[in-house]
Chain A
Amino acid sequence: MKRLAGLTLAAVIASQSLLAQDYEQRRRRLIEKMARVEDGKLHYHSIAARLWLREGIPGAEKKLRELLQGDVSGDMFWMFPMTAIAYLDRGQLSDSARALMRRSWKTYYPFRGDTENHWLLYYTSMYLMAQMWPEMGGEGWFNGKSSKENLEEARRWIESWVKLTTTKGQGEYDCTHYIGVYLLPLSYLAAWAEDPRMKKQASMMIEWIAADFAVESLDGIYVGSHARTDDRQVVEKWRGVSADFAWLLFGQGKETPPFGGYSLYYALADGPEPPAIIRAIATDRSRPYTHLEKKRTRNRWRFNDELHGQVYKTTYMTKDYAVSSDQGGVLQPVQQHSWDVTWRVDDPEGVHNTLFSLHPYSGMVELEEYFTFSPDFGTEAVWRSKTTYDSPDKLLGGSPYEKIVQSEDAVIALYDIPPGTRFPHINGFFSKDLQEFVEDASGWIFCRGGRTWIAYRPLAPHVWKPIEGGGRRLFSPYLKNGTVVQAAGMDEFPNLDAFRKAVLALPLKFSLEPAPRVEFRTLRGRMIEFAYGQTPRIDGRPLDYAGWPAFGGPFLKGKAGEPRLVMTHGGVRRVLDFGTLTVSESRAARTK
Chain B
Amino acid sequence: MWIAAAALCANGEHRLHALGVTTKGWVVGAALLPSGVFVKKSGGAWVNEGYRHPLLTAMAWLPGKPDTLFLAAGDGVIRIDAQGRWRVLTDETVTELQDISAGAGGLLAFGHTTGFQVSEDGGATWREISAGLPRRYGKAVRLDRLRKGRVVIGTENGFYVSDNLGGSWRLAGAAGFQAMRVEQSPHDASLWLAVTQRGGIFRSTDGGVTFEATARDPAAGRNLYDIAFDPTDARRIAVCGWGPGVLVSEDGGVTWEARNRGLPRPDVWSIAFDPDKPGRLYASVHEDALYVSEDAGRTWRADGLPGSIILKMAFVPAGGAK
Name A residues whose Cβ lies closer than 8 Å to a Cβ of B. Answer: 71, 73-77, 108-109, 111-114, 118-119, 123, 138-139, 142-145, 153-154, 156-157, 160, 299, 301-303, 305, 307, 368, 372, 374-377, 381, 384-385
A114 touches B74 (CB 8 A): yes
A240 to B96, CA, bound (A): 30
A114 to B29, CA, bound (A): 11
B210 within 8 A of A: no
A73 to B135, CA, bound (A): 36
B88 touches A376 (CB 8 A): no
A467 to B24, CA, bound (A): 30
Q: Which of B95, B156, B225 sits near A112, CB closer than 8 Å?
A: B95
A372 touches B156 (CB 8 A): no
A113 to B74, CA, bound (A): 8
Count of inter-chain pairs, beta carbons less than 8 A:
92
B25 touches A384 (CB 8 A): yes
Q: Which residues of B contact A114 (CB under 8 A)?
A: 28, 74, 95-96
Nearest chain B CB to A371 CB, angstrom units: 9
Nearest chain A CB to B84 CB, angstrom units: 11
B87 touches A145 (CB 8 A): yes
SS class, residues of chain A in contact with chain B = loop
Given contacts A75-B29, A109-B86, A112-B95, contact A375 B53 (CB under 8 A): no
A-B contact pairs, 30 of them (CB 8 A): A75-B28, A75-B29, A76-B28, A108-B51, A109-B52, A109-B86, A111-B53, A111-B54, A111-B74, A111-B75, A112-B95, A113-B28, A123-B92, A138-B87, A143-B86, A153-B91, A153-B92, A154-B92, A156-B91, A156-B92, A301-B96, A301-B113, A303-B156, A372-B98, A374-B223, A374-B225, A376-B242, A384-B24, A384-B27, A385-B25
Chain B 4-33 interface mask (CB, 8 Å, partner A; 1/0): 000000000000000000001101111110
B92 touches A376 (CB 8 A): no
Q: Which residues of A contact B53 (CB under 8 A)?
A: 109, 111
Q: Quick one: closest B residue to A77, CB to CB? A: B29
A73 touches B286 (CB 8 A): no
Nearest chain A CB to B117 CB, angstrom units: 16
Q: Which residues of A contact B223 (CB under 8 A)?
A: 374-376
B267 within 8 A of A: yes
Given contacts A73-B29, A302-B156, A375-B223, 11 further A-B contacts (CB under 8 A): A73-B30, A76-B29, A142-B86, A301-B137, A302-B137, A374-B269, A376-B223, A376-B242, A376-B267, A377-B242, A385-B25
Nearest chain B CB to A63 CB, angstrom units: 18
Q: Which residues of B contact A157 (CB under 8 A)?
A: 92
Q: Which residues of B contact A143 (CB under 8 A)?
A: 86-88
B214 within 8 A of A: no
A112 touches B87 (CB 8 A): no
Q: Quick one: closest A residue to B96, CB to CB? A: A372
Q: Which residues of A contact B74 (CB under 8 A)?
A: 111-112, 114
Nearest chain B CB to A109 CB, angstrom units: 4
Q: Which residues of B contact A109 (CB under 8 A)?
A: 51-53, 86
A384 to B86, CA, bound (A): 31
B65 within 8 A of A: no
B41 within 8 A of A: no
Q: Which residues of B contact A71 (CB under 8 A)?
A: 31
Chain B 69-81 interface mask (CB, 8 Å, partner A; 1/0): 0000011100100
Q: Quick one: closest A residue to B24, CB to CB? A: A384
Chain B 149-180 interface mask (CB, 8 Å, partner A; 1/0): 00000001000000000000000000000100
Return the 10 tightest CB-CB contacts between A and B, nearest first.
A144-B87, A109-B51, A384-B25, A376-B242, A112-B75, A157-B92, A73-B31, A77-B29, A143-B88, A301-B113
Q: Quick one: closest A residue to B242, CB to CB? A: A376
Chain B 88-127 interface mask (CB, 8 Å, partner A; 1/0): 1001100110100000000000000110000000000000
Nearest chain A CB to B257 CB, angstrom units: 22
Q: Which of B75, B135, B197 sits near A375, CB closer than 8 Å?
A: B197
